[in-house]
Structure formats: C-alpha cells, structure tokens
Amino acid sequence: MKKKIISFFKKNPGRDFKSKEIAKKLDLTSDHEYEALKSTLYSLFEEGVLLRTGKNYRLNRVPSSNMVKGELQIVNGGFGFVLVKDSKMGDIFVSSRNMGTAFNGDTVEVSLFANQKGKNIEGQIINVIKRNKEEIVGTLHKSKSFYFVKPDDTSFHRDIYIDKEELAGAIEGDKVIAGKINWDSSMMNPEGRIIEVLGKSGSFDTEVASIAKEFELPYKFTNKVLDEAEKIEEKISEDEIRKRLDYRDKVVFTIDPEDAKDFDDALSIEELENGNISIGVHIADVSHYVQYNSEIDGSAFNRGNSVYLVGRVIPMLPEKLSNNICSLVPNRERLTYSVIVELTKRGKLVNYEIKKSVINSKRRFTYDEVQDIIESGSGDFYNEILKLNRLAEILRKKRLKEGSIEFSTPEVKFVLDENGNPTRIYRKEIKQSNMLVEEFMLLANQLTAKHIAAPEKGEPKPFIYRVHDLPDNEKIIEFGKFVKSLGYTFNPSASSKSNQFQALIEEVKGSQEEVLINELAIRSMAKAIYSAKNIGHYGLGFKYYTHFTSPIRRYSDLIVHRLLYKYIESKSAVHYNQSQLEEISEHISACERNAVDAERLSVKIKQIEYLQNHIGDEFEALISGITHFGIFVKISNILAEGLIRLRDLEGDFYVYDEKKYALIGKRTKKQFRLGDKISVRLIRADMEKLELDFIIIE
C-alpha cells in the first residue's frame, strides 16, 4: 500500500488529494482497503513523506535539510528559478522579493519554505556561492548626483552604482564594462567600477565589442597566435603534392553566399567509364596547417567556432588562414581533404574514398549564379552544375523518404550602410542551389561518420559525432494538440513521428502558419549536440553523422579531420582517447550554444535599430505567443518579434484560455489565437530594453 501511494503522489507532484479521491484513482473499492489506505496516509504524513492540510494530502518534496544549491535563472518578469542538478524536486521558484543579492546565472544556496502549495517548490536565496559573471556590459547613465550602469542583459535586474572616482574616463552614454562588483544588501544597489570603455553607445564597432564581451567571445587574437599564423607558408611543396590525390586539372568549383570570404568546400563531378558518376566533396585541409597543441590550435579550441554577427564575423582562425591559405579561392593550389563518392545515375552509392588531396578551383560561384544556371540551362560549367543538381534532387527525395525532416527555418538578411546601420531587411530565400550544396555536404558528413562507427573490419574507434536525440514525449503531445487546434493532423503516438513531422511540414508550406509551426516543431525537439557517443541523428534520420565539411569555422570538423587521417592514412598522427573527445564535445557544444545566442542578439539589435525609424508604420504579423499579459507577434517579412499588451486591446475584457491557445473577449467572444494573421502598428521601439510594442489595426 505504501509503495502504491508514494508512486501515485510522485506521478502527481504539487497536487492535493482527499483520501476518497486517492481510493478511487487506485481502484481501492472495499471498506477494508479504504481503512488501510487512510491508516497508511496518516503514517506517511507522520514520517514526513506527505504533507496534510485539513483532509488534503500532497507529496512533501522538500528535503529534510531544507537547503539546496543550484543555478539561478531569472525570467524577464523579475522572478526566477533555481535549477538543482540531479534532483527530483524540479526547479525551485524564487519571487523577485526573495532574490537577495543574486544575479542571473549565479550559483546560489536556497532555503526552502516549509509550506509548499504551488506546482514548483518555492524558496528564498540566502547565499551567493559563485558569481556567474564578474564583469557586466552596459550603458553609463548619470542621475543628478550619481552615475550608474544599466546592464545590456535584461535578466540583470539591478543597475550598478558607479562612484565618480571610478569612471576611468567614461562619460554618460558610453558603452562600458563594469567590474569589481560588490553587492552586500538587497536593499541597496550593487556597486562597481568601470574597467573598460568600449565606445560610444550605438556605434557599430561598440555594438560588436559589447556583444563579444557579453557572451565572453574572444574577438581579438593574441600576438602569439598572429605571429604563428604569419610564419605559415602558403607555397605547397612538391613532396606534399605527391602524397595526395591530384585534382588540380579537374573541374572543381566553389558555391557560396555572395558575401562569403572563407570558402571551405568545393565540388567536382565526372562521368566514369562504367557509366557511374564520381562526385568529389573537397574540404579545406585546415589540419595540415593548424598543428596539435599550437597557439592557433589552443585559440581555435577556446573559440570553438566562428560567430556570425550581423555585418561582422568573429572568426575561429586568424584571417591569414581563414580568408587566404585555407580558403579554396579560385585559380590557386589548395590542400584539401576529400570524400570521393561513386554513385549510379539513380543516386545509389557504389563506392567511396576518404583521402587527402590537392585542388585548383576553376570558378567561384555564388548561390544566385548557380540558381540562374539551373533555371536557364546555360552558363559556366552548366553541364556539371545541372548533373550535380539532378543527383542532389534524387538524394534529397531518398533522404526524406527514409525519415529525414526538412524544417523550414527562415532567416533574415540585412543591408547595412557604411556606418553599420540597417537600411533594409529581407527574408533569405532557400533555392535549389542552396539545396544542391547542402545535399552533398550531408552525404560527406554521413559517410565519414559511418566509416568510423561501422567499419568493414574491427571495432569502432574514438570519434566525435553530431547527434540528435529523440523528441520529448510530453512536448510532442503538446505540439500535437496545438496543431490540431489549427485544423492540421499530427499523431503524437505514431511509430514514425519523423514521417508525421515531414508530412505536416509539406502540408503547411506556403500557409500563413508555416513559420510558426516549423518554429514550434523545432522547439519540441531535442537540440543537436556534439558527442563522443553515437546515438544517431533523429532530425536527419541518419544512424551515423558528424561534421566534416567546415573546418575553417568549426573546431569539431578540425578534430574529425585529424581522427580520420590517423585512422585511414597515418597511424603516427595525433591521437585522442574517448575521455578527451567527451570533454572536447561538451566544450564545443557549449561554444555553439553561446554563439547562437550571440547571433540572435545581434539580429534582434539590428531589427530594433531598423524599426526605430518606422514608428507608426503598419505591418502584417503572425501571433507567435499568447500569455495572460498580452500577445506576442512576429512581423511576417522581417521576423522581428514584439508585444501587444493586454491593456492595449480595446473594446472588450480579454481572458487567457490556455487550452485554446487564445485570448477570448468576455463580452464579444472574439478570439486572438496562436497562429492567427493580424495587422499591427508599431508604437514603441526601445533599444535599451530591446523591446517592440504594437497595437492591433482592425
């Protein structure tokens, strides 16, 4: 009986039940069973396993010590949650008044309240064990008699007081870094000093520097790294060429965005005597130049990847390597690592080879140029491009049939003036030329992973994989309910959920809900990460997958190149054991998440900067979120997101209906539903708070 009751309450944490309700739920029908239940409930209450209020019982989720440690995450509303590792308690809710002197991300000690009523356990922060950040980026302001820094990160809920003796030359309006922060009492503001002036707030260079500082991105290379890069010779020796597959006389070309500066992949195609087709996927051989444990290698590891802010790149490698020696520029001999694939004309894999090579690119194409050739059937190397496109279409169709999900994730492009100010924003269009390149990159990544994970002889060797776990079942069920509310079909319990996703994505293509459904589908998924343990890639439907094709901008690919070279061509090459690869995977996954957050912030800043000049303008928008305090909307053409506050909804009193994903008017019954298309007017664009406010146009 005890086990039954404890199991029941663990499945229903935070909820109160009377003994009769529990008896009904556990199907205890006889008088004898009911008496035993009541006796056991009281016994569990006395033991402290259950709490009792009147006739109601609920699970006591508070540990006997009443004190826990964890990481604080503050929500924009001012309250927060403490995330406790390896705990069945769930996240601990902390109201703004119980935050103490903790900042977002701090490791804290929480005292848990004795009387717990809500869904989450509630507590009060009594001690900051470790600060997440010792330095905070913000803008310097001046009041009548004192200076203060308003943090850029809105989750930092307090301004930092700066004594006029600690300004370090900063003046009002400067973007600065505040350090040496001291905060002893929640009744007072934290105090600090200016340790670096980044520049005038609002300027492009200052903006880039402040984002880099905010996310701790090293945006300048040390002199040691630059000196080491300068010593690297561009000239390739004849001895090195003799060791490699020689593709210098073959038709090899690159296809990249118009504004790309580092070209790390190239393609070649030729018909074989047996009627099959040989495709070459040639990738910059960064591992030849970046030696293990060198200054450049250490710097690249720390960065983990290049970061693409709007109008500016923070590269993983110094410019001499990324834009010159390693970049597959046209009409220059370049060292590459190639996957040479033999396919039938129907796209069936016959054979492949992974080997170091040397190429001389015959042409640098942009995606638009290749698209013109595909559409017109004429232009430089049109024969090769049309054949590549036909094969890419066959491979793509086969991949989707086998369970790959092709999410549509729209991106925006910016046109900037000479000062870095956005003059135009437009949605990036994915064309056949993009998909052509993508398909062969996917093939090369898949084959290199399979070569190590499923060798023809011997056991799998230590390696880095790109993995994507199965989606969370609860999130999938919730997503299914939402999709159904919009009139679409999605079966969360279907055995092949990936096929369900792909069918839905095809169905919503071109509809007003396409962006939202794709976004929510991605949110219901696990995040793809790097791992030394292969669990496959759910989203792509691949059993084996890695990142091999972008070593100029991703450290993962550089490691993969080194491992492949050791296992295939040179036993004496650098070795990584399983434990090292697990540590590297964890680090570069964290770097990637950080880069994504920085890139998103960069996009958001430029969107708001652009919209500052469009106050009063009208836009078509999609309802992207519904809350009890208002409606989140996303502008359809530039994907900027803002809020329509509940107080600005006129003509009725609106109530939030969680089950219908809607705000519903009490009198008129008018609904604003998630996914609805509406017309809005921009009424406020706040650069400091990074907020946009809209009103609805009827």
Indicate whether 88 pLDDT > 70.
Answer: no
Tens digit of each residue's pLDDT (9 = 90 or more) over 102-159 = 998 899 998 888 666 666 788 899 899 999 888 999 999 998 889 999 998 877 888 9
Indicate whether 47 pLDDT > 80.
Answer: no
**Whole-angstrom distance, CA of residue 264 vs CA of residue 317:** 12
Predicted confidence at residue 659, as pLDDT, reads 81
User: Burial, 54: exposed, middle or buried (Cβ in 10 Å; 0-12, 13-18, 19+)?
Assistant: exposed
Coil/strand/helix, residue 436? helix
Q: Which residue has the higher pLDDT, 440 or 62?
A: 440
Sequence-distant (6+) residues with CB within 8 A of 49 are: 6, 59, 60
Ranges of H-type helices in 454-549: 473-485, 497-508, 514-523
The average pLDDT across 300-305 equals 98
Confidence of residue 5 (pLDDT cuts 50, 70, 90): confident
Indicate whether 318 pLDDT > 60.
Answer: yes
Predicted confidence at residue 495, as pLDDT, reads 65
Tens digit of each residue's pLDDT (9 = 90 or more) over 597-643 = 999 999 999 999 999 999 999 999 999 999 888 999 999 899 999 99
In the block, residue with structure tokens 């004849």? 238
**Whole-angstrom distance, CA of residue 205 vs CA of residue 413:** 19
CB contact at 8 A, 263 and 280: no
Confidence of residue 91 (pLDDT cuts 50, 70, 90): confident
Cα atoms in the Cβ-side hemisphere of radius 13 Å centred on 17: 25
**Hey, which residues does 281 pair with through a beta bridge?**
267, 339
**Whole-angstrom distance, CA of residue 14 vs CA of residue 59:** 7
Tens digit of each residue's pLDDT (9 = 90 or more) over 499-523 = 888 889 888 888 878 888 888 888 8
**Whole-angstrom distance, CA of residue 514 vs CA of residue 508:** 5
CA 437 distance to own-chain centroid: 22
Indicate whether 592 pLDDT > 80.
Answer: yes
Predicted confidence at residue 77, as pLDDT, reads 62
The average pLDDT across 65-77 equals 81
**Whole-angstrom distance, CA of residue 590 vs CA of residue 519:** 22
CB contact at 8 A, 176 and 197: yes
Supply the pTM of this predicted model: 0.84
Contacts by 616-619, CB closer than 8 A, 24 or more apart? 616/681, 616/682, 616/683, 617/681, 617/682, 618/679, 618/680, 618/681, 618/697, 619/679, 619/680, 619/681, 619/682, 619/694
In the block, residue with structure tokens 């008017």? 665
The dihedrals phi and psi of 105, each to the nearest 5 degrees, come to 90, -10
**Whole-angstrom distance, CA of residue 490 vs CA of residue 499:** 10
Instruction: Tell me the pLDDT of the chain averaged across its residues.
Output: 91
Indicate whether 64 pLDDT > 60.
Answer: no
Q: Which of 91, 95, 112, 114 is nearest to 13 (CA)?
A: 91
Q: Which amino acid is at 610?
A: Y
Q: Which of 483, 474, 526 is nearest to 501 (CA)?
A: 483
The average pLDDT across 8-17 equals 77
**Sequential DSSP letters for 595-631:** HHHHHHHHHHHHHHHHHGGGTT-EEEEEEEEEETTEE
Tens digit of each residue's pLDDT (9 = 90 or more) over 518-567 = 888 888 888 999 999 999 999 999 999 999 999 999 999 999 999 999 99
**Whole-angstrom distance, CA of residue 318 vs CA of residue 620:** 43
In the block, residue with structure tokens 């880095």? 464
Residues constituting the chain: 698
Predicted confidence at residue 65, as pLDDT, reads 60
| Pair of tokens at residue 121 | 């356990």
**Whole-angstrom distance, CA of residue 465 vs CA of residue 535:** 9
Q: Residue-wise over 220-246: b if at least 16 C-beta within 10 A, else e?
A: ebeeebbebbeebeeebeeeeeeebbe
Confidence of residue 261 (pLDDT cuts 50, 70, 90): confident
The kind and range of the H/E element at 50 are strand 50-53
Percent of the chain predicted with pLDDT > 70: 97
Predicted confidence at residue 486, as pLDDT, reads 81
Q: For 76-155, where are the E strands, in sequence order? A: 80-83, 92-94, 107-112, 123-130, 136-142, 147-151
**Whole-angstrom distance, CA of residue 328 vs CA of residue 265:** 7
Tens digit of each residue's pLDDT (9 = 90 or more) over 399-427 = 999 999 988 788 999 999 999 999 999 99
In the block, residue with structure tokens 């009911």? 34
Most confident range, picked from 154-163, 587-596, 682-691: 587-596
The average pLDDT across 343-348 equals 96
**Whole-angstrom distance, CA of residue 127 vs CA of residue 669:** 49
Whole-angstrom distance between the N-terminal and C-terminal Cα of the chain? Answer: 60
Map out the domains of the chain with their CATH numbers.
Answer: 2-59 (1.10.10), 67-130 (2.40.50.140), 136-201 (2.40.50.700), 223-286+293-382 (no CATH), 433-603 (no CATH), 615-696 (2.40.50.140)
